[in-house]
Amino acid sequence: MASTKRSSKVSAQPTKSAAAPAAAKKAPAKKAAAPAAKAAAPAKAAAPAKAPAKAAAPAKKAPAAPAKPAAPKPAAVHHPLVRDFMSASPHSIGVDQTLELAHSMLRKYKIRHLPVLEAGKLVGVLSQRDLYLVESLDGTAPAKIKVDEAMSPEVFSVTPTTHLVTAVREMVKHRFGCAIVVEKDRAIGVLTTTDALRALLEYAPHPA
Condensed to tens digits (0 to 9), the pLDDT of residues 128-138 reads: 999 988 888 87
Sheet containing strand 121-127, strands side by side: 93-94, 113-118, 121-127
The SS3 of residue 110 is: coil
185 Rama sector, left if φ>0, alpha if ψ -120 to 50, beta otherwise: left
- 79, 102 contact by CB (below 8 A): no
pLDDT tens for the chain, 208 residues long, are: 444 444 444 344 444 444 444 444 444 444 444 444 444 445 555 555 565 556 666 666 666 667 676 766 655 667 899 999 999 978 999 999 999 999 999 999 999 999 999 998 999 999 999 998 888 887 888 899 999 999 999 999 999 999 999 999 999 999 999 999 999 889 999 999 999 999 999 988 877 6
CATH fold of the domain at 82-203: CBS-domain (3.10.580)
3-state SS assignment for residue 79: coil
Is 0.75 topped by the overall pTM?
no
